[in-house]
Amino acid sequence: MEVLKIATAGSVDDGKSTLIGRLLYDTHSLTDDKIEAIRNSSRKKGYDYLDFSLATDGLVAEREQGITIDVAHIYFSTAERSYIIADTPGHVEYTRNMVTGASTSQVAIILIDARKGVIEQTYRHFFINNLLRIKDVIVAVNKMDLVGYDQTVFEDIKQNFERLNANSTYAEQNVSYIPISALKGDNVVAKSNEMPWYQGETILQHLGGIESTDVNEEGEVRFSVQTVIRPKTDEFHDFRGFAGKIKGGNLKVGDQVTVLPSMTTSKIESIYFYDKGYKEAEAGSSVTITLEDEINIARGDMLVKSNELPRVEKDLTATVCWMDSKQLRPGTRYVVQHNTNRVLSKIAEVGSVIATDFSGKKASDGTLGLNEIGEVKIKLSKPIFSDSYIANKSNGSFILIDEHSNTTAGVGFIN
């Protein structure tokens, strides 16, 4: 079945968990024992309503503090399709976990408390969805029940948000506005009787109409080799298959391909998925291909169509979101992982820090701290075969791995 991935964003107490709970509850995706567990925990906390955050906040520390620290993945489905919600934290200090959740999502729901309107946190959430180029953004104005379902409150917030949107660099982004009450269930799954002035879709209706295209389906074919399959059995003695996932476009038997970095060319001889051969395979497919010529190909090499070559560059300029408590400083070394390719790199320059309130770039002190986003120049020990993030999300992004701690310290979006 088709899967649509959603990231939620909102500040503390905007009602994210309640919204998720409501979506699950109203689509009958919660089983009786889970509802019972939520009811028990809610009662223990002295609430007279079902506190759905007890279901979505999976860690003890989260339930103690009543905040979301790390991404939880939550599943629900309708007869038409399956949904995965990445429930991401709203706090500034967990920006990295928010980026983690949003990176694989196709839609973002940004929650706004109708009583508070657009606040600083909203800027950051929208900015990150802009930066990641999430195609569809739903601005859900929540707690409409607490403002008497007043249309002017909703229209004011919508106008403020539109002013923010005017500064966006991503003009193709679809932003829609829905007035809801997650607690009462207005316009989440069922249409609200309290807001006759709103003629638009409910959140679920809107989600149902969004086309589910994966990050890997965008742009031209980029086939990054994960591993080489050599069975060396009697039956498949000479089989040399290149296993990987097709990112962008499609591959056909007979396509003329160029192998990077060697720049050797060959033709696609066969495309296998398990034990069946196919004449063509589409983006997003994990296939195994063989070529007509014997070429030395290893993990990290990339196959592309010969008329669709990527950039081959040794100097990267990228927007980097920093995720490590150790600052990013010029002169330090990191491993750049780009698709399945790993290259040693040196940070050349941290140019400027980008304000997440859309006020533009600011001069930096030459470093990037945890959860900061900035323009970074990186020197690579070997060239990578890249595209801009705008042209191809999976080939236009990379991670920076700390050589000492091995952690994923940052993520970059190639300019």
Partner 1 sequence: MDTTEQKDAKVFRANALESEAIYIFREVVAQFEKPVLLFSGGKDSITLVRLAQKAFWPAKIPFPLMHIDTGHNFPETIEFRDRLVKELGVELIVRHVQDSIDQGKVIEETGKYASRNTLQTTTLLDAIEEFKFDACIGGARRDEEKARAKERIFSVRDDFGQWDEKNQRPELFDMLNGKIEIGQNVRVFPISNWTELDVWNYIEQEQIEIPSIYFAHKRNTFLRDGLIWSAEDEVVFRAQDEEVQERTVRFRTVGDMSCTAAVESTANTIEKVVAEIRESKISERGARIDDKRSEAAMEKRKQQGYF
Residues 140-169 touching partner 1, rule: CB under 8 A, are none
- The smaller minimum CB distance to partner 1, of residues 276 and 296, is found at 276
CB within 8 Å of 246: residues ≥ 6 apart: 216, 221, 223, 281, 282, 283, 284, 285, 287
Judged by phi (left if over 0) then psi (alpha if -120 to 50, else beta), residue 170 lies in beta
Q: HSE, CB side, 13 Å, CA atoms: give it for residue 138.
A: 28
Does residue 332 bind partner 1 (CB under 8 A)? no
Does residue 392 bind partner 1 (CB under 8 A)? no
CB of 214 to partner 1, least distance (A): 6
Concatenated DSSP letters of 217-240 = GSSS-EEEEEEEE----STTTT--
Q: What whole-number distance in Å separates Cα of residue 15 and Cα of residue 21?
A: 10
Among 117, 278, 388, 391, interactor with partner 1 by CB under 8 A? 278
- The smaller minimum CB distance to partner 1, of residues 82 and 176, is found at 82
- 339 to 368, contacts with partner 1 by CB under 8 A? 339-340
Does residue 286 bind partner 1 (CB under 8 A)? yes
64, burial (CB in 10 Å: exposed 0-12, middle 13-18, buried 19+): exposed
Does residue 71 bind partner 1 (CB under 8 A)? yes
- The smaller minimum CB distance to partner 1, of residues 143 and 393, is found at 393
Among 12, 69, 147, 348, interactor with partner 1 by CB under 8 A? 69
- 99 to 118, contacts with partner 1 by CB under 8 A? 99-100, 103-104
Q: What whole-number distance in Å separates Cα of residue 401 and Cα of residue 338?
A: 11
Show the site string, 307-326: x = touches partner 1 by CB under 8 A, - = not.
----------------x---
CB of 364 to partner 1, least distance (A): 21
Token couple for 69 = 């620290």
- How big is the site for partner 1, counted in residues (CB under 8 A)? 86
Among 70, 150, 156, 308, interactor with partner 1 by CB under 8 A? 70
Tell me if residue 104 falls in helix, strand or coil: coil
Only segment of 109-117, 151-159, 210-218, 368-376 that touches partner 1 (CB under 8 A): 210-218
SS percent in the chain: helix, strand, coil, step 5? 20, 40, 40
Q: What whole-number distance in Å separates Cα of residue 383 and Cα of residue 315?
A: 8
Does residue 388 bind partner 1 (CB under 8 A)? no
Q: What is the DSSP letter of 366?
A: S
Q: What whole-number distance in Å separates Cα of residue 146 and Cα of residue 150?
A: 9
Q: What whole-number distance in Å separates Cα of residue 132 and Cα of residue 126?
A: 10
Among 49, 276, 294, 296, interactor with partner 1 by CB under 8 A? 276
Only segment of 119-127, 175-183, 186-194, 233-241 that touches partner 1 (CB under 8 A): 233-241
Among 172, 274, 296, 360, interactor with partner 1 by CB under 8 A? 274
Among 12, 27, 39, 63, interactor with partner 1 by CB under 8 A? 63
- The smaller minimum CB distance to partner 1, of residues 191 and 245, is found at 245
Only segment of 115-123, 165-173, 303-311, 396-404 that touches partner 1 (CB under 8 A): 396-404
- The smaller minimum CB distance to partner 1, of residues 164 and 246, is found at 246
Does residue 17 bind partner 1 (CB under 8 A)? no
Nearest to 369 by CA among 412, 311, 309, 409: 409
Q: What is the DSSP letter of 30?
A: S
Does residue 58 bind partner 1 (CB under 8 A)? yes
